Amino acid sequence: MSGVILPGCFIKCAEGGGRGGVDFGFLSTTTNELVAVSYLGGKEMPVLFQFDVGDIDSGASLSFLSQYPNEDEVLIPPLSYLEVTGELFFMNTDKGEVVDRLPCAYQLQPQV
């Protein structure tokens, strides 16, 4: 993600102590860090979400039907809760760019 400022709910703890929010749309991710960083290149205020994924809450791999199967795309469904699990830290890319990196986990919301 780039060109936006993270909402305050990702930076400061809520009353219950958690940080994060609900994403209302599909979220395209990748298991390949180099691919993720390549999409951030040259853009302002880049943020890279680093997801810890469990066996239950995992997105759908799209590699088998993708035009770009080497991108290892994983789609996270709408209304997934993105929970910040660590502190924001900085990462330098191989091109010398500085990227904000935010450790997160996501929880899939049940359909009603």
Domain assignment of residue 76, given as a range: 8-107
- CATH number of the domain enclosing 74: 3.90.176.10
Of residues 13 and 4, the one with the higher pLDDT is: 13
Q: What is the pLDDT of residue 1?
A: 67
Locate the DSSP E strands across the chain: 20-23, 27-30, 47-52, 60-61, 73-76, 80-84, 89-92, 98-107
In a domain, 112, yes or no: no
In a domain, 30, yes or no: yes
In a domain, 1, yes or no: no
Q: Residues 32-58: pLDDT tens digits?
A: 988 988 887 677 777 888 888 777 777
In a domain, 77, yes or no: yes
In a domain, 43, yes or no: yes
Number of domains in the chain: 1
Q: Residues 75-111: pLDDT tens digits?
A: 998 988 889 999 888 888 777 777 788 899 888 765 5
